[in-house]
Structure 1
């Protein structure tokens, strides 16, 4: 899988103009991190186009990037490839609407939580 850096992610995001406001993928409202179960993940529509996970990083940082005081779950939070959770994401594009999304899996003590966020090119930091 292609490792994407900040400029590559920005180029993909700028080129990914959704062709319609809503879609069968139902991901248009995931402007902040949203939990999405495997059953709800629109697998048939999603094409993995890259990853932000550096295979050379044994344990990517858990440090978050909030220069303007945002929070993890805020739609205005910058997308920083070098910071958590972006450094653990794969990048997908919907084949029906061209929407670009980030997806990662949160592993807690007794749970697994798949999360997704729409990529907004204007929020990509760096």
Structure 2
């Protein structure tokens, strides 16, 4: 059964519940995941359970436009999480079964490589920005 689509409001609700359960930083990986990172080998994938996705079923080709206001960039820990924009619109939402934190994951594909990327979800960074 495919994971359910989560809109920005639902993602915020999930993120707030996760942050209430696990208010501190995750100790499940040694790599900080506040901004996008290549998925670290120190993170045990078997601890992650997909709870939803940010791409709606009826959107066959999500935009590659990014939402990066001010001086933020793709890698910034304070970059907004804008579910309608790249790369968020290609993400699954995953919950750690050990600490309860939420993560966004997607696969970045380039000419000669594939890179699994991950970012911790912070409720205060989620923005429902229209395209």
Per the TM superposition, whether the score is higher than 0.5 is yes
Does structure 1 residue 47 correspond to structure 2 residue 85?
no
Q: Residues of 1 paired with 2:113 and 2:68: CA distance? A: 26
Which residues of structure 2 form unaligned runs of 5+?
none
Provide the secondary structure at the position in 2 that maps to 1:16: helix
Q: Are residues 51 and 22 of structure 1, via their aligned partners in 2, closer, same or farther at CA, if it must alter by over 3 Å?
A: closer
Does structure 1 residue 60 correspond to structure 2 residue 55?
no
Say what the alpha-carbon RMSD is for the aligned residues: 1.7
- Out of 31, 36, 40, the residue aligned to residue 34 of structure 2 is 31
Identify the residue that residue 114 of structure 1 maps to in structure 2. Answer: 116
- Paired residues in the alignment total 124
CA positional deviation for 1:111: 0.3
Whether the aligned pair in 2 keeps the contact of 1:19 and 1:97 (CA below 8 Å) is no
- Structure 1 residue ranges (4+ consecutive) displaced by more than 2 angstroms after TM superposition: 19-23
Counterparts of residues 1-126 of structure 1 (less than 5 Å):
1-17=3-19, 18=22, 21-23=25-27, 25-26=28-29, 29-36=32-39, 40-126=42-128
Q: Residues of 2 paired with 1:82 and 1:108: CA distance? A: 21
Q: Residues of 2 paired with 1:8 and 1:100: CA distance? A: 13
Whether the aligned pair in 2 keeps the contact of 1:22 and 1:28 (CA below 8 Å) is no
Whether the aligned pair in 1 keeps the contact of 2:26 and 2:101 (CA below 8 Å) is no
CA positional deviation for 1:20: 5.2
Tell me the TM-score normalised to structure 2 length. 0.87
Q: Residues of 1 paired with 2:77 and 2:119: CA distance? A: 9
Which residues of structure 1 form unaligned runs of 5+?
none
Whether the aligned pair in 1 keeps the contact of 2:34 and 2:120 (CA below 8 Å) is yes
Q: Residues of 2 paired with 1:50 and 1:95: CA distance? A: 15
Q: Residues of 2 paired with 1:22 and 1:77: CA distance? A: 19
